[in-house]
Structure formats: C-alpha cells, structure tokens
Chain A
Amino acid sequence: MGDKQGMTAKVTVEDVERVAELANLELKPEETPAMLRDLNAILEYVAELNELDTSGVTPLAQVSELVGGLLDGSGKSQLRADQTLPSLDRATVMAQAPETDQVFFKVPKVIER
C-alpha cells in the first residue's frame, strides 16, 4: 500500500477484473468495456487533484472535529457507557433471511470436503 504513485494510471481490463474480484462483483463480459471506459474517464478527471501540492496537509476523514470537539463543542466523548442492552430477537432477524433453519443463516458450502 502507498507506493506514492500519482494518478497517472490507465485502467486495463485486467485491473477492472481484479478490482471486481476484490469487491465481490462479477461483471458480465458485455459490461466490462463500458465500465473500463467510464472508469478511465473518471480517473482522468480526478487526476486534476495532482495540480495541488498537499504535502503537510493532515487528511480530513471526518468532519466532527470542525463542528467542535465531538460535535457538541465540549470535546466530551459522545460514546455511551459500554453496557449490554437488549438487541433484536432471533426470530425477527431470521424472518428476513433468504435461507435459515431459524437458528443460523444458511449459505452454500464454503469449502469442498
């Protein structure tokens, strides 16, 4: 990670397939060319950020610090005490599952036996 290469990369079919695999997406063969074209157009556009010298700028991942401490100006933690509270009951949750034995979610086999 982080070998400092700039935004000059041109995405290839192999890149799209690799990224799709990372994202657990399976593109149909007919989807790939359009995706390749769009990704390259977008990446070419976002490369405008290269014009800016951002050395020494601390990345801003989340804006709560700008709103004032943890959002109330006091800097006090918003996190509640770590205590067990009731959660949804199993039957309610399992009612939404595509496949279940009412105790567990059922999925196709993970490994060959």
Chain B
Amino acid sequence: MNKNILEVRNLVKHFEVSKSVFSRNKKIVKAVDGISFDIKAGETLGLVGQSGCGKTTTARSLCLLDPKTSGSVNFFNPDSKNMESIDNIDEDGIRIFRRNMQMIFQDPYESLNPRWTIKDIIKEPLDIHNIGSLSEREDAIVEILRTVGLTPPENYLSRYPHEISGGQRQRVSIARTLVMKPKFVVCDEPTSMLDVSIRISIMDLMLNLAKELEVSYLYITHDLAVARYMCNRIAVMFNGKIVEIGETEELLQNPVHPYTKRLISSIPIPDPTYKRERYKVNFDELDNIISKNPNEKMVDIGGGHLVATHDTKDFLIES
C-alpha cells in the first residue's frame, strides 16, 4: 500500500465580497467549504465539478497561491521522509515545498512568458531553486525536453512560445513543471484548450511520466470522460463541497449522490445509437439542503467510496 503524499482536512476558503466600495455589508462567498481528501504517492485524483464549484480555488489554496481561511494540509517532505504540515510554513519551508509541488495551468497561451525562449522558461525554476551547476541545468533542460517529446531538443531551446503550436506549448508547461522532479503536480484542466487529437497525446504523456517519475497528480476537469481516462480516483465537487469520492470505475458505475448521477448523465456519448437518459436534479434544492447541514459527514459505503449524507429524495426534479 502506497503512502499518502498529501492529506487535506477541512480545507476552507471564503472570499469576502461587498457590493460597493463603501458598503459595510460584506457578503461571504464560500468557494471551498470544508473539504477533506488524501492523495497517495503515484496516484492521480480527479477533482470534477461544474464551473464555479471551487475546483480551481482548491488548487490555488493547496499550492499556497492564495492563503486558505482554515483547515489543515499535510504534505510529504521527501527530505525528512515525513508528513509535515504546511499551514504555518516559513520562507525556507515554502521553498522546499514548492520544489515538490508544482502546477500546470489550463491555458498554454497565457501561462508562458512570450518574451522568453523555451530554454529560459524551463530554466527559471532551476535558477530560482538553485539546483545544480549551470551545465547541469542545461543538461536537465535538454533531457526533460526529450522526455516530454519535444525532439530534437536543440530545435526548441531558442524558440519562443509563439513559434510553436498549442500542444507543444502545453508540453513546454509540463517540462517546466517536471524539470524540478516534483512529487506532486496540480493540473488545472491542462487539456481543455487543446484539440481532440492532441489531447490524448498530452494525457498519455502525463500518465507515462507519472509512472516513470512517480508523480502524483490532482487533476482538475469538468469532463468525466477525461477524468476516467486519467484518474485512479475521482472526487465530485458541488458548491464548495465534495459530495462523493471513490475509485474511478466504482464511482462511474455505481454513483450514489444525485449530483454525481446528474454529472455522469450529462456527458455526451460518442455513439449515435445510444439514447442518453438525463438524470434530473433541482440544483437550488440541493444547494439548500447542503447549506442547511453544514457539518454532515461523508459515509463510507465500501471500498473507500465516500458519499455525503443528506436526504436525497427531495431534489430529483430539475427546475
């Protein structure tokens, strides 16, 4: 049994919003509202939900890009071989932590500096973390370019992002991330901007690298078909909460929570003879019930398949 690499307990991220600059009445948006999950070494966990459900906020809080409101996060420190809390981490701690936890963003057009060459882009994290000598860094760059399938690497080193295609850019993002040899990578919809034919090659690349380099992923997507291909386990998120989490095939074959059922039934099937039944859910009602029971527990229905418990009979009809 693999060890955990990340343990998240009751992660909460609230945003204060006010209608106008002068208004005293602050409204609180509960973007992430008490979620807990573990990720094991070498495992890919999918975080699935609609836009605005808090997927990206979760990712940003985990990577310490936004300070979380409350909750605890433990991360495996490969240097000390222990799980360590990253809640009140100092500058040096953040440095070690960041080296092992990296992020791949959705948009390969916006996340690469247009004025830098590919070599500069991949070299930056090595420079920041002061890894290896200058020549070792050069070697590492060439090697990682080869690993992500940008061959021959010499052809890419001095190019700029605008000179390469979207798929190649996403490969550069992956190279920049993996050159640090991280233990854990948060991927925020890394293939949703790519064409179908290129998408699979990027997903295959990430899967192969996960095996080769023993990286764990938190894979954020709204597409369950993609999640099924990529992930060992899937967590379904609705309005800031995880409502169901389980092994991928188990969750897809035997979904329990109405929201999971709705999500699964809204995925188009690439088979014209198949007539898809839409499972109907009243989202407002569901939201009501969830917000009325803020402290409900996740119940294990077997094999690590956890479901949020609430009375699920009342919101079966979509408004």
Q: Do A and B come from one complex?
A: no
Interface residue ranges, A against B (CB under 8 Å): none
